[in-house]
Structure 1
């Protein structure tokens, strides 16, 4: 553009100079030939001097006008051209000058408008890209996207963490190269082949740990119906599956625990009605059994109602500053008869100045449950130790017995509802299988924790950690 402009200006100067020379030639040709012979040599030389001076002045004026035109028109266009080149290179902050009247042209204004629009579009694109990235990385599910060629072009951090891959390892690879679990590979292949949505639940064994994944695969179709690839979303439903299993076990256990006493009561009642009530000794024995089963049924229903109440949203504790030793003394008064009946000695190692903010009645309930377990699963003439110490901002309470112990494989399930280490012995001891579940709920409601350690034939230790002050 600059070369074309310069060429036009030079041509204009040449035309102007030619016009001047032609005009001078015409004038000289019309007026001076008639008198050439009469003019002396001196006048002839003077005439040529004037002619040359006039031509020089005309040439200088032409150059000045050409330079002025170049400054007025060529330089602003050069500036605007440089701005356009910067925009083409991605510098959307570049602007042409418009505050100087020399540059206030329609071209400069148009260039600035284009630059402003490009900057807004670039900013919007960056914001949308950042939002999309944040959304993908913040998903709780693993995301995997394949392009139309079948290669991975998008993956999020959850997928990398779940399957132990890094983004650099899997980008650009096909699903066959990733060595995913066979069920997931089959789903991806079905989506590619049928171009239809597919979903299934997959069980994954990762190093001995079972995971359950809900895998959803769908084709990605553009606005104009063109095939762009597929997207696969994998959601970890292990906790949901576990809760469903717990629910099923709970229903089955409740049905079983209720059926046993009800069946027993019904059977003995029918026997009595069939004529056994006419025998006083048999009547007394059967009524005692019916009473025992009724008490057990009542206890079971009470525990179920209490556990249900703890899980409700409105459940709250009555906090107050209490002495831990006084709580232990109250719990021992309730269980002292059972200790004496089995000849089990008690060792209390608790400092008298342990004061915590808690619900005294609920802590007594916790200790009664733990002490009852220690008594039921301990042999006669053994020992139970209760110790309490301050540990930083917490109080640690240990209940240790010398009972039969619990296998290590059973410890993780010990606080589940109705879980029994020894079902026959637990039922004979009058337990409902809900005691430890209630204990865990109460301790967690206080903001504490409870753990268990046990050795077969040696004994079991329940360790409670409670905060000294109420957690807000």
Structure 2
């Protein structure tokens, strides 16, 4: 005779589970944000009333259909990238993108996407939370345009008199030289140099203010080679002038390796890192630029053979107005904003940037390594 054990609490557990599922379903149905689920092929498996309101399609029209139905033609590649991340168990947080409603209207949505697993832990799909932020974004753009206009006016008002002062000082310096007055010429030269430094300071401050307002980042899919190579070429002449060799190693990536980036701003970061490396590199030394994949990310390293950065300043140099050696500001015209601006740009790209001493990794190795990590996009 086989004796079967019956758990007396089983009906209660089932009732508890059913009650929880009922409440969870009610929350999804009454939520004011779109909550959608799909399988690993992008086929919609659930579509709540808020999704109907935002996108214009009913649940009957969307369930069983591809989620790509609400994608603009130029953003279909995003779904492949999203599904790739989901299959790897990754989450996509606070991602803004464009979608298209049933009526054909383009809207801006803020997305959060998470993998869905079955009872065994196997990933079987994804849940998506979407919120229409079109009005919010338009409001932000209006505010940003007002800030841009203000910054533009300030820039004009500050630069115009400074440029005039600089030109007048240059003329006076030339006049002093013709009159064989070395002391006057030297004083005019000092004043002219400081006017030039002040102009650079104004430019840096205005650039940092623009970045603080986050008005200048325009992310798109771009080939990493089209970002790195022009940046290296831009400083190659300066490298030759200083007898510093620039070595660009991109052997581990293909010409089609891509990142989601603003090419102009990312080049600004690389140019700043390369300019700093050149500033601190001795003659007959080398600067290496290495680009390589790192999991789902891409790394860009700028390695110099300079004197290196003191251990206690490796993080401080990314703060505003901080420099390794304050004498560099006097000789090179730096104001300590370049790395702060660079970190701001990188963080807006969803990446990271930091500095290390080379001798910390390899005893006796001179110089510093600046590492930039960016999320990789789908290969073009």
- TM-score after normalising by structure 2: 0.49
Higher relative contact order (CA 8 A, sep 6+): 2
Task: Report which of the two has the higher share of helix.
Answer: 1
- TM-score after normalising by structure 1: 0.40
Instruction: Please say which structure displays the higher CA radius of gyration.
Output: 1
